[in-house]
């Protein structure tokens, strides 16, 4: 259902990041308005049109349909610590108000000493009762994963879990058998040919669910049920407009045993939403919005991407992905 969505009037944004994250220093995307409110379309530039069609499904659900009922009114979150030095890692954690921290590791092949120092700094900021999780984004082989996880677990004084240490389900299963730390699957679920059928239960202890690339809140709830594991909802690096869909998913899950990775606005120079609608954590929790947040016109004007070539690239991309999305749904 796309009736009433103003595709032609989509607004394109470009917001600088406070630190390099996922290899980018500027986050770009599009905001669209429909009868149910605003939605966000922001697949990363290296994602092809077929993959990006899932992101468009989430946008359409938010703009035209809305979300299923919530079963909680606030979401516990972790702070996110990018690949920064230990002093900055300590500062981010100490100022976050969160009792759980997710730390990016394996930023480059020789990163282990930096990763250990970052983990130790976060532990110092959290104290002994805080939870630490690390995310390797699937770059390790199994031997490296086992070795590094053991060292990171020691430096942390105990890790809550390690997210996607290796690329494949088979590798995750090998690592899970070799270490005493929980393993969480992220890319293995959302990049599977069929996320509803991926056999992740024997390879992981936790399922990381990202609503935005999976195609919306309702589909993500089915993926979470099919995974059969405790779930963590995590951001795909959106502004408050898109982040609200992730919060809606976390709010609708029947059970939520872990803090969620939804505190990513701290990585942005600015949000596009102001006031109470901006989804910034208070004391480690995010409120569940009743309606999709709307962009502040002045912020949207400040961060609107107006460079003709790049703006044209985004509009061409949206048109292509709409065609793919329509073909997928009609077939």
CB-based contact 57:211 (threshold 8 Å): no
Q: How far is CA 271 from the centre of its chain?
A: 16
Tell me the C-alpha to C-alpha distance, in Å, between residue 12 and each of 31, 153, 272, 308, 321: 6, 42, 11, 11, 16
Which residues are within 8 A (CB) of 46 and not within 5 positions of it... i.e. 6 or more apart?
Answer: none
Is 304 annotated as belonging to a binding site?
A: no
Clarify whether 210 is annotated catalytic. Answer: yes
User: Quick one: which of 220, 194, 218 has its CA closest to 207?
Assistant: 220
Burial class of residue 44 in the structure, from the number of CB atoms within 10 Å of its CB (0-12 exposed, 13-18 middle, 19+ buried): middle
Is 87 annotated as belonging to a binding site?
A: no
Query: Which two tokens mark 316?
Result: 């061409």
Q: How far apart (Å, rounded) are the C-alpha atoms in residues 246 and 103? A: 20
User: Quick one: which of 204, 217, 273 has its CA closest to 250?
Assistant: 217
DSSP-based three-state secondary structure for 206: strand
Q: Give me the catalytic one of 99, 133, 210, 219.
A: 210
Q: Give me the catalytic one of 99, 102, 104, 190.
A: 104
Query: Which two tokens mark 290?
Result: 């009743």
Clarify whether 102 is annotated catalytic. Answer: no
Is 316 annotated as belonging to a binding site?
A: no
Tell me whether strands 206-209 and 100-104 are parallel, antiparallel or unpaired: unpaired
Distance from the first to the final alpha carbon of the chain: 15
Q: What is the DSSP letter of 35?
A: T
Q: Give me the sign of the Cα torsion angle 188, 57, 233, 89.
A: positive
Which residues are within 8 A (CB) of 245 and not within 5 positions of it... i.e. 6 or more apart?
Answer: 39, 40, 58, 61, 62, 67, 211, 212, 216, 217, 238, 292
Annotated binding site, which residues? 135, 163, 186
Annotated binding site for Mg(2+), which residues? 135, 163, 186
Active site residues: 104, 210
């Amino acid at each position: 259902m796309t009736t009433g969505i103003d595709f032609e009037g989509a607004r394109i944004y470009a917001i600088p990041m406070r630190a390099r994250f996922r290899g980018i220093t500027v986050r770009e995307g599009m905001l669209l308005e429909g009868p149910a409110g605003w939605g966000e379309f922001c697949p990363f530039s290296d994602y092809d049109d077929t993959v990006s069609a899932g992101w468009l499904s989430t946008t359409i659900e938010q703009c035209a349909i809305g979300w299923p009922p919530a079963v909680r009114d606030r979401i516990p979150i972790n702070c996110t610590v990018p690949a920064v030095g230990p002093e900055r890692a300590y500062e981010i954690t100490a100022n976050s108000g969160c009792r759980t921290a997710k730390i990016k590791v394996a930023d480059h092949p020789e990163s282990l000493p930096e990763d250990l120092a970052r983990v130790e700094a976060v532990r110092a900021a959290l104290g002994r009762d805080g939870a630490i999780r690390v995310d390797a984004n699937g770059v390790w082989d199994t031997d490296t994963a086992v070795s590094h996880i053991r060292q990171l677990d020691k430096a942390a004084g105990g890790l809550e879990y390690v997210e996607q240490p290796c690329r494949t389900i088979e590798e995750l299963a090998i690592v899970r058998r070799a270490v005493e730390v929980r393993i969480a699957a992220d890319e293995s679920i959302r990049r599977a040919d069929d996320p509803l059928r991926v056999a992740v239960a024997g390879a992981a202890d936790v399922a990381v669910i990202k609503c935005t690339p999976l195609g919306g809140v309702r589909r993500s709830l089915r993926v979470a049920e099919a995974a059969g594991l405790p779930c963590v909802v995590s951001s795909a690096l959106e502004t408050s407009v898109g982040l609200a869909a992730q919060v809606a998913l976390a709010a609708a899950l029947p059970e939520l045993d872990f803090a969620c990775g939804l505190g990513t606005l701290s990585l942005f120079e600015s949000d596009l939403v102001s006031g109470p609608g901006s989804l910034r954590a208070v004391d480690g929790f995010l409120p569940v919005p009743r309606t999709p947040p709307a962009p502040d016109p002045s912020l949207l004007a400040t961060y609107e991407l107006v460079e003709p070539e790049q703006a044209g690239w985004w509009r061409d991309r949206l048109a292509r992905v709409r065609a793919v999305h329509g073909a997928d749904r009609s077939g």
